[in-house]
Structure 1
Amino acid sequence: MRALTLAVSSCEETNRRFLQAFEGKPHRNLLIFESPSLLFTLLTAERWDLLKMMTGAGAITVREAAERVEKDIRAVQDDVDALLQAGILQKNDNDEIEFPFDAVHVDFMLKAA
C-alpha cells in the first residue's frame, strides 16, 4: 500500500529528518507542516472529502471530481489548485488530476503547553 503521511513537526525535527535522508534514510511520501493550524488551513473538510473520493479512483477530470463530490466546479477547481500546489495531487499530460496514494496517514501529537 502506498500511503501519504502528513506530519506536524518542529523545525528541529524537520532538520533531523533532513539529515537522516541525507545519510541515506529516505522519508518517502511525507509532507511536513509546522503547526496543526497550517495543516488544517490546507486540508479543509471539503478537501478531505475530495481526497477521500479520489483515493484509488485513478486519473479524473476536475469536472468529474466536482460531480462525484456534488460541489460547484469552481470551488473544486480552487481546492484542486491548492492540493496541486502542495504536491498532494498530480496532473497528467491529459490535464487530469490524480491522488496517487492508497491512503493518508496524519501524524501529530497534541501536548500540554
Structure 2
Amino acid sequence: MNTLTIRIESLQDVAKAIRATLAAGKAEGSAGLSFVDYETMHRVLSPKRLDVVRAMAGQGPISYREVARRVGRDFKGVHSDLTALIQAGVVDRTEDGVLFPYDALHFEFDIRASAA
C-alpha cells in the first residue's frame, strides 16, 4: 500500500531527519509531510479536505468536477480545497485533472500537555 505519512514535528526535528537521511545515503521507505503544529495541520487538512482526499485515494487523475460529485459538494468549494491541498503538497495537478498519488493517509504525532 502506498501511504502518505502526516507528522507534526518541529523544524529542528525535520532538519535532523534530513541530515540523518543524507548521512545514510537513502530515504526512508514512505512519503511524508510534516506540519509544525496541530493548528496548521488541521487548517490544511480540515474534515472537508480529508473527505476530498479520501474520495481521490487510489483513483488516479480525476477532474475537479468529478471530485466535487464524489464528495457531494459544489464545484467552487471543492476547487478552493483542491487549490489549498495542491499548495500544501498533498495533491498534484496533472494534465488530466488532480491526483492524490497514494492509497492512504497515516497520521503519526503525539499531543502533549502545554508547559505551565
TM > 0.5: yes
| 2:46 is aligned with 1:40 | no
What is the identity percentage for the equivalent residue pairs of Structure 1 and Structure 2? 31
- Is the 1:42–1:82 Cα contact (8 Å) retained in structure 2? yes
Who is 2:18 aligned against? Answer: 18
TM-score (norm 2): 0.90
Who is 1:78 aligned against? Answer: 80
CA displacement at 1:89 relative to structure 2: 0.7
Q: Show structure 1 runs of 5+ residues with no match.
A: none
Segment drifting more, 10-19 vs 39-48: 10-19
What secondary structure sits across from 2:113 in the alignment?
Answer: coil
Who is 1:99 aligned against? Answer: 100
AA aligned opposite 2:76: R
What secondary structure sits across from 1:53 in the alignment?
Answer: helix
CA displacement at 1:59 relative to structure 2: 1.1
List per-residue Cα deviations over 1:44-103 (Å, max 9, x = no partner): 110010111111122110001101101010000000001111111112123x11110011
AA aligned opposite 1:18: I
* Aligned length in residues: 112
- Is the 1:20–1:26 Cα contact (8 Å) retained in structure 2? no
AA aligned opposite 1:75: G
AA aligned opposite 2:20: Q
Q: Tell me, in whole angstroms, the C-alpha distance in 2 between the residues paired with 1:92 and 1:15.
A: 30
CA displacement at 1:39 relative to structure 2: 0.3
| 2:107 is aligned with 1:109 | no
Q: Tell me, in whole angstroms, the C-alpha distance in 2 between the residues paired with 1:12 and 1:75.
A: 35
- Is the 1:47–1:79 Cα contact (8 Å) retained in structure 2? yes
What secondary structure sits across from 2:90 in the alignment?
Answer: coil
Who is 1:6 aligned against? Answer: 6
CA displacement at 1:112 relative to structure 2: 2.1
| 2:57 is aligned with 1:59 | no
- Is the 1:10–1:34 Cα contact (8 Å) retained in structure 2? yes
